[in-house]
Structures are given as C-alpha cells and as structure tokens.
C-alpha cells in the first residue's frame, strides 16, 4: 500500500537543534512520517467513557467518529480556527447527473451511494466535473454527500413517469451531462429505461461494478457478465458504490431549470395511496417496534405498535413462547430488516438478533440493563423498565394527537 516512505535525512534535518556550530539532534522530538497526529489511547478512552455509570463503561460504538473529532480538535488548537473548507467547482469541465429519490425529503442510503458514484466519475482522470443532483432543493445534506449543483425539476409525487422523463430529457439537452446515474430501484429504474429509449442511447442496467474506465453487469442468470466503458445512462445496484466522504461540496441551486408544462393524454388520473406499516411485512417496512423477553404485557406492546404506525417485531424468545407469530421474528433465523429505524423494548441484543438489524440506521433501546449489547448498538438508549415506558409513550402520543 502507499505508506509514505521514510526519509532519514529529512527526519534528521527536522530534529536538528540550531545552537552551536556542531550539529546537535533532539532525538526525543517525534516526527510522524505520515504527518498524521499521533494517537493518544488514554485520551481517547477518557472521551468515550460513559459518566454516571456505577462501573467504568466505554461507549465504543462511535469510537472512530469521536477519535476523529478529537484529533481534529487537537489539530485546530494549534492552528487558528479555520472555516470548513467547501469544495467549489466554478466552471465545470463536464456534468454528471445523479437522479435521486429522496423519500420523505431526505437522502436515503441508496441516494448517497448514487452521489458517491457520481462524485467518483466527476473526479476521475483530470477531474473538474460537477455533480448535479436532480432532487428537490429542500433536501438536506446534499453538499456533504457530494453534490456541486442542485437541479430541482419540481417533481410532485403524482406526476406521471412519462412527464418526469420529459423533464430530465430537457435538463439533459440543456447541460449535456457526460453520465446520468440512477438507482436500480422502482421509480428510478423506470425513469432510466424511459430515458434510454427516448434518447435512443445504450444503457447499462443494474451495474454491479462501476469505475471511470469500466462498468459491468450480470446476465444469463449470473452465468456471464457484460462489461464495457461506462455509457451515458447507468443504473447502479444497491450497495455497489461507496458514499462520498471528502470535503463538503457546494450544492448550489441551478436557477434556470427547464420549466415544462405538459400533460400526458393517455393518463387520465394519478393518485398515490400510502402504505399502512402496521400491515406490512417486516422486510418492507421503514419502522419496526420490537419486543423481547423484557416485555411482559404483550397487549400493550401490540397496541403501542399500532399507535406508532409501526410494524411489530419480536425476538426469538417471544416468538417461541407463542406471544407473537413466527413471521414477526427479527434476526438471523427470522427476517433481516431493511428498515430505517428499530425500537427495541427489553431485547438483550444476542448476535443472532443483531444480525437482523445490521442495516438499520437508527436504533433505540429500552432496557433495564445498562450493559446490554442492544444498548451499545443504539443511537438512543433508555435504561428504564419497558413496562413503564410503553404506556407513557402511548399516552404521550395520544396527548399530542389530541392537541393536533
């Protein structure tokens, strides 16, 4: 790998103390060959120590985040405070479109991957490309996720896909992007194919590998692979590209977005019917409320899941006891979730259970045991009896609903 090569002469030069005519070296001075600040394990532990616990406890879940924060703090203590560096591409050499889905007005994991892949294509070679995110201008975090520009085509949920395609086509004619990246995911996948057919261009669908030089996909039921230079239109499979993690980009809105006012004569009406999470299967839902062995009043729990419009789940113990159906079991031998949020009441967090929630972005744990694995995994941990928290939660929701 590319660890910087040590240069003994330069190191000696750096350690030279200019006092006498004779050369003197301060051998205690530490010069990091990589110019990275040296780690201080004791200080790192101090930072992640959880206060108020009867015995020493460390919160190791965020170690990397905290350590990097600490190291940054140490670095800025010496230097004068700097404003966060924003990457600005003033006159882009070319454009790369990233068509985003932004469910509920937020970037999903897939959206971030699409932006990451677009960023990679824009920076490849001599670079200088600009990533244009096709999304609502109100979406948060587009800059940090790698977007230089935002093009808001004003899509509403009820706009037919044929008209949405016309919007993107107009944008393509205006900015002539080098690549258009879309997610291989229901509506985006539909849009990509419409775009390829209207523009009459080749498309690489469901790419499993993407670099600036090559893109590949599977065919013949995973018996062969097709590959070639990345074409203009590419749809990327989920978990195939890494997020962008560099300096935040500018995310400047493009003002002169093409305005379109068309209608599709064949489409008579469009109406979106939201799904009911309480009826969905565990693998489809976005929010799961789950009960473990620490929950004794299952009826309260089931009602709470309904009130929170969440899908009820359970640990294996509860399913084995026949308190919840087997289809509700979360974990290795149950369902592996793809939901965004997981609220666990009285679940210890056995490895077989944690496997099922590996993909959840937000985990909330309610448990009486401070040292439970689930508490370690969670982004919000409440050390309290689940039998007290559940009715309180229910009551608070009813109160807020009553007011609204």
Partner 1 sequence: MKTAVLLSTSRHPVSGRPALARLESQAIGLATRLGGEIVGIHAGERTDATREALGVGLTSVECLEMPADADPVPALIERLQAEKFDLVLAGRRGQGGLDTGLVPYLIAKALDRPIIADAAAIEAGSEAGTIRVDQALKKGARRRITVRLPAIVTVHSLAPAPAVFAYGASRRGEIRSLAVAEHAQDAATWAERPYRNRPRLMRTAGVATGDASEKLHVQPDPQEAAKLILDYLERNGIRSF
Site for partner 1 in 102-121 (CB under 8 A): 103-106, 109
CA distance 30 to 34: 12
- List the one residue from 363, 367, 372, 374 that touches partner 1 (CB under 8 A): 363
Q: How many residues bind partner 1 (CB under 8 A)?
A: 110
State phi, psi for 298 to the nearest 5 degrees: -65, -35
3-state secondary structure at position 384: coil
CB of 189 to ligand FAD, least distance (A): 31
* Sign of the dihedral through C-alpha 312, 283, 308, 273: negative
CB of 357 to ligand FAD, least distance (A): 10
The partner in contact with residue 74, picked from partner 1, ligand FAD, none with C-beta cut-offs of 5 to 8 angstroms by kind, is none
347 touches, from ligand FAD, partner 1, none (C-beta below 5 to 8 Å by class): ligand FAD
By beta-carbon proximity to ligand FAD, the closer residue of 101 and 387 is: 387
The Cα 189–Cα 387 span in angstroms is 45
For residues 37 to 76, the per-residue mask of contacts with partner 1, x marking binding by CB under 8 A and - elsewhere, is: -----------x-xxxx-----x-xx--x-----------
Nearer to ligand FAD, 129 or 292 (CB): 292
Q: List contacts with ligand FAD (CB under 6 A).
A: 292-294, 315-317, 329-334, 346-348, 350, 352-353, 356, 366-369, 372, 385-387
Q: Return the residues of window 208-227 that contact partner 1 according to CB under 8 A.
A: 208-209, 216, 218-227
272 binds partner 1 (CB under 8 A): yes
Going 116 to 121 to 123 to 124, the CA torsion angle's sign is: positive
Q: Quick one: CA torsion of 176, 179, 185, 189, rounded to 10 degrees?
A: 50
**118/365 with CB nearer ligand FAD:** 365
How many CA atoms are closer than 13 Å to the CA of 374, on its beta-carbon side?
A: 30
Closest to ligand FAD by CB, 113 vs 329, is 329
Least spacing, CB of residue 13 vs partner 1, in Å: 41
Closest to 130 in 3D by CA, of 85, 176, 196: 176
Nearer to partner 1, 208 or 323 (CB): 208
What does the per-residue mask of binding to partner 1 show for 171-210, with x meaning CB under 8 A?
Answer: --------------xxx-xx--xx-xxx---xxxxx-xx-
| Residue number, 133 or 348, with CB nearest to ligand FAD | 348
Q: Is position 320 an interface residue for partner 1 (rule: CB under 8 A)?
A: no
**210, 240 contact by CB (below 8 A):** yes
Of 14, 45, 242, 247, the one binding partner 1 by CB under 8 A: 242
**Contact between 169 and partner 1 (CB under 8 A)?**
no
- 315 makes contact, choosing from partner 1, ligand FAD, none, with CB < 5 to 8 Å by partner type, with ligand FAD
208: partner contacted, choices partner 1, ligand FAD, none (Cβ within 5-8 A by kind): partner 1
Helices 186-199, 161-175: axis angle to 10 degrees equals 60
Q: How far apart are the first and last CA of the chain?
A: 59
Local structure of 333: helix, strand or coil: coil
CA distances from 212 to 122, 123, 227 (A): 9, 9, 13
- Determine how β-strand 215-219 pairs with β-strand 16-17: unpaired
Chain Cα centroid distance, residue 106: 10
Which does residue 285 bind out of partner 1, ligand FAD, none, counting CB within 5 to 8 angstroms by kind?
partner 1
d(CA 129, CA 151): 15
> Is 214 or 333 the residue whose CB approaches partner 1 more closely?
214
Q: Do 189 and 235 form a contact (C-beta atoms < 8 A)?
A: yes
Tokens at residue 98, please? Answer: 């990233």
Q: How far is the CB of 316 from ligand FAD (least distance, A)?
A: 3
Backbone torsions φ then ψ of 315, nearest 5 degrees: -85, 175
| Residue with smaller CB distance to ligand FAD, 189 or 370 | 370
Tell me the C-alpha distance between 360 and 6, whole Å: 43
Three-state DSSP at 285 gives: coil
Site for partner 1 in 275-294 (CB under 8 A): 275-277, 279-280, 284-287
- Minimum separation from the CB atom of position 355 to ligand FAD (A): 7
Q: Distance (Å, rounded) from C-alpha 402 to C-alpha 288?
A: 24
């Amino acid at each position: 790998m590319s660890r910087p090569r040590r240069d003994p002469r330069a190191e000696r030069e750096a350690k030279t103390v200019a006092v006498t005519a004779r050369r003197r070296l301060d051998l205690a001075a530490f010069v990091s060959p990589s110019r990275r600040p040296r780690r201080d394990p004791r200080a790192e532990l101090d930072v992640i120590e959880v206060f108020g616990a009867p015995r020493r406890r460390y919160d190791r879940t965020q170690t990397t985040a905290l350590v990097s924060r600490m190291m940054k703090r140490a670095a800025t203590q010496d230097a004068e405070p700097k404003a966060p560096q924003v990457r600005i591409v003033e006159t882009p050499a070319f454009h790369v479109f990233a068509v985003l889905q932004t469910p509920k007005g937020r970037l999903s994991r897939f959206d971030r991957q699409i932006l990451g892949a677009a960023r990679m294509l824009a920076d490849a070679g001599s670079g200088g490309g600009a990533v244009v995110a096709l999304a609502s201008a109100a979406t948060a975090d587009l800059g940090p996720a790698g977007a230089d520009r935002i093009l808001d085509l004003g899509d509403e949920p009820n706009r037919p896909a044929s008209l949405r395609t016309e919007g993107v086509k107009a944008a393509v004619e205006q900015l002539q992007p080098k690549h258009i990246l879309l997610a291989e995911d229901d509506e985006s996948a539909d849009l990509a194919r419409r775009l390829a057919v209207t523009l009459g261009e080749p498309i690489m669908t469901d790419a499993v590998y993407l670099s600036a030089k090559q893109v590949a996909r599977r065919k013949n039921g995973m018996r062969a692979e097709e590959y070639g230079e990345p074409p203009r239109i590419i749809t990327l499979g989920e978990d195939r590209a890494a997020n962008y993690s560099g300096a935040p980009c500018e995310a400047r809105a493009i003002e002169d977005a093409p305005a379109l006012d068309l209608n599709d004569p064949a489409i008579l009406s469009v109406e979106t019917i939201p799904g009911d999470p309480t009826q969905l299967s565990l693998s489809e839902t976005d929010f799961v409320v789950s009960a473990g062995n620490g929950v004794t009043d299952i009826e309260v729990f089931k009602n709470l899941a309904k009130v929170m419009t969440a899908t009820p789940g359970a640990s294996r113990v509860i399913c084995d006891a026949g308190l919840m159906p087997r289809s509700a079991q979360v974990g290795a031998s149950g369902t592996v979730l793809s939901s965004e949020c997981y609220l666990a009441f009285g679940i210890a967090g056995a490895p077989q259970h944690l496997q099922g929630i590996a993909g959840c972005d937000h985990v909330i744990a309610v448990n009486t045991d401070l040292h439970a694995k689930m508490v370690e995994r969670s982004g919000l941990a409440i050390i309290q009896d689940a039998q007290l928290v559940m009715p309180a939660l229910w009551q608070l929701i009813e109160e807020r609903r009553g007011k609204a």
